[in-house]
């Protein structure tokens, strides 16, 4: 009888709902949600500025770790306990299914689609912040205006640099992306746009922030292999002791290197060569920390560079600037420090012995170690023409990679809905 009564009550509720076409509209208006452009007063600037920085948090560790998984720095194997995400498996071995598969079937991969959407939001909110603060009366400008201009232009530059560095439309194409349903914007044009944003931020920057901007500009030129222009800006870039520009995390929104490729959950694991680095010089453990992971096969290891959920991730640092100076010098650029001095200053931070000679091969390895798990490896492999053709090298699950994917795919949603690509 009770079941019959309950069934009748449910049926009556459904009947009542179906008879009232507008039932779902009779709710109070939302009080904690606002359209972006409704936040257009000077009092809104701190909130909007912080929102842009929160979007950097959403983007960077997820994007950088996905790129590192495509590279030869992070690997995926289901012999490791808790390694189950097929999206990560696809990124680590794009094109390994058979020799005819270039990995294009993975353009709806969650790591590709999610990161592409996140970077789009980051770019949108950065540009909207500039639109908002630019519309205010400049005669009444405050420190909040200055912070908004700096953050908006910085973030707008970063988002465009991320498009140019991490995304591509096809496996055999150059990186880049559309913006707002545009045709593809090439990596060269995207880096040019990024630099214009960074330069626009300079008038609003402190001296330390200006050095950050010059390091970022120099990096775009380095990635384009324009070493003379790279040298010009890297010479004005970050100095030893400068605080890094970081993406900040919290217990509520965690660093993905920790959460999925660290001790939070051991899905992404350390390539064997990092164990070899530490075996060759135990002091390398100062910058290459890792622990054993539970496995059902060969012993694997997981990084502890990011030991906590809230561990920040460097977007740019003085150490990276020094390594770029060393590389640019060796490639013919005119810089203010010798390659050996630049590299050894970085090594000294970890108590490592100075190197007597430094060439491009040394810089390549030093970047592998120092910039471990920061999203730089795939572009390094591409620039040095040292792409890998295997994953899980030296293990019982070693596999061949046949495809040419070196970037994250522009999302399937973008491909299906943008008429210009």
- Closest by CA position to 181, among listed 225, 223, 124: 124
Give the distance from CA 166 to its chain's centroid.
Answer: 8
Task: Give the integer Cα–Cα distance in Å for 38 and 40.
Answer: 6
Query: Helix/strand/coil (H, E, C) string of the chain?
Result: CHHHHHHHHHHHHHHHHHCCCCHHHCCCCCCCCCCHHHCCCHHHHHHHHHHHHHHHHHHHHHHHHHHHHHCCCEEECCCECCCCCHHHHHHHCCCCCCCCCCCHHHCCCHHHHHHHHHHHHHHHHHHHHHHHHHCCCHHHCCHHHHHHHHHHHHHHHHHHHHHHHHEECCCCCCEEECCCCCCCEEHHHHHHHHHHHHHHHHHHCCHHHHHHHHHHHHHHHHHCCCHHHHHHHHCCCCCCCCCCEEECCCCCCCCHHHHCECCCCECEEECHHHHHHHHHCHHHHHCCCEEEECECCCCEEEECCCCCCCCCEEEECHHHHHHHHHHHHHCCCCCCCCHHHHHHHHHHCCCCCCCCCCCHHHHHHHHHHHCCCCCCHHHHHHHCCCCCCEECCCCCCCEECCCCCCCEECCHHHHHHCCCC
- Closest by CA position to 68, among listed 113, 12, 14, 111: 111
Start-to-end Cα distance in the chain: 62
Paired sense of beta strands 167-168 and 408-409, if any: parallel
Task: Give the integer Cα–Cα distance in Å for 344 and 353.
Answer: 8
Half-sphere exposure of 304 (CA within 13 A, CB side): 10
217 Cβ neighbours under 8 A, 6+ residues apart: 195, 198, 199, 233
Ranges of each domain in the chain:
36-396+404-417
Task: Give the integer Cα–Cα distance in Å for 290 and 125.
Answer: 36
Q: Is the Cβ–Cβ distance between 224 and 280 less than 8 Å?
A: no
Task: Give the integer Cα–Cα distance in Å for 190 and 193.
Answer: 5
Give the distance from CA 100 to its chain's centroid.
Answer: 30
Give the distance from CA 129 to its chain's centroid.
Answer: 21
CATH number of 36-396+404-417: 1.25.40.390
pLDDT of residue 106: 67
- Closest by CA position to 271, among listed 292, 302, 238, 247: 302
User: Over its length of 421 residues, how does the chain's per-residue pLDDT go in tens digits?
Assistant: 444 444 444 444 444 434 434 333 444 444 444 455 566 788 899 999 999 999 999 999 999 999 999 999 999 887 888 887 878 888 877 655 555 555 556 677 888 899 999 999 999 999 999 999 999 999 999 999 999 999 999 999 999 999 999 999 887 778 999 999 999 999 999 999 999 999 999 999 999 999 999 999 999 999 999 999 999 999 999 999 999 999 999 999 999 999 999 999 988 999 999 999 999 999 999 999 999 998 888 889 999 999 999 999 999 999 999 999 999 999 999 999 999 999 999 999 999 999 999 999 999 999 999 999 999 999 999 999 999 888 888 787 788 877 778 899 899 899 999 999 9
- Closest by CA position to 70, among listed 147, 171, 150: 171
């Amino acid at each position: 009888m009770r079941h019959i009564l309950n069934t009748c009550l449910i049926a009556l509720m459904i009947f009542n709902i179906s008879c009232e076409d507008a039932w779902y509209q009779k709710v109070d208006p939302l009080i904690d949600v606002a359209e972006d452009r409704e936040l257009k007063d000077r009092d809104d600037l701190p909130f909007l500025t912080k929102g842009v920085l929160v979007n950097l948090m959403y983007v960077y560790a997820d994007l950088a770790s996905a790129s590192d998984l495509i590279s030869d720095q992070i690997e995926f194997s289901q012999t490791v306990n808790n390694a189950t995400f097929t999206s990560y498996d696809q990124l680590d071995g794009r094109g390994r299914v058979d020799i005819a598969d270039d990995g294009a079937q993975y353009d709806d991969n969650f790591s590709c689609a999610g990161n592409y959407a996140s970077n789009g939001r980051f770019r949108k909110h950065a540009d909207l912040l500039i639109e908002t603060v630019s519309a205010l009366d400049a005669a009444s400008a405050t420190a909040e205006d200055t912070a908004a201009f700096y953050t908006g232009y910085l973030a707008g530059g970063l988002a465009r640099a991320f498009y140019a560095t991490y995304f591509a439309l096809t496996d055999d194409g150059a990186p880049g992306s559309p913006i707002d349903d545009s045709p593809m914007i090439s990596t060269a044009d995207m880096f040019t746009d990024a630099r214009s944003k960074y330069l626009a931020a300079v008038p609003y920057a402190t001296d330390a922030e200006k050095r950050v901007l010059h390091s970022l500009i120099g990096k775009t030129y380095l990635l384009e292999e324009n070493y003379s222009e790279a040298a010009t800006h890297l010479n004005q870039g970050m100095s030893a002791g400068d605080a890094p520009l970081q993406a900040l995390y919290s217990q509520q929104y965690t660093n993905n290197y920790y959460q999925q490729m660290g001790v939070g959950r051991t899905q992404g694991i350390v390539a064997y060569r990092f164990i070899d680095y530490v075996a060759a010089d135990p002091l390398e453990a100062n910058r290459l920390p890792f622990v054993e992971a539970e496995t059902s096969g060969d012993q694997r290891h997981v990084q502890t560079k990011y030991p906590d959920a809230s561990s920040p991730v460097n977007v740019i640092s003085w150490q990276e600037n020094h390594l770029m100076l060393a590389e640019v010098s060796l490639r013919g650029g005119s810089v203010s420090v010798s390659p050996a001095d630049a590299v050894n200053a970085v090594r000294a931070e970890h108590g490592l012995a100075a190197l007597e000679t430094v060439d491009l091969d040394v810089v390549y390895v030093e970047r592998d170690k120092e910039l471990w798990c920061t999203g730089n490896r795939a572009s390094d492999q591409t620039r040095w023409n040292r792409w890998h053709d295997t994953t899980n090298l030296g293990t019982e699950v070693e596999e061949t990679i046949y495809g040419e994917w070196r970037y994250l795919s522009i999302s399937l949603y973008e491909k299906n809905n943008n008429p210009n690509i």
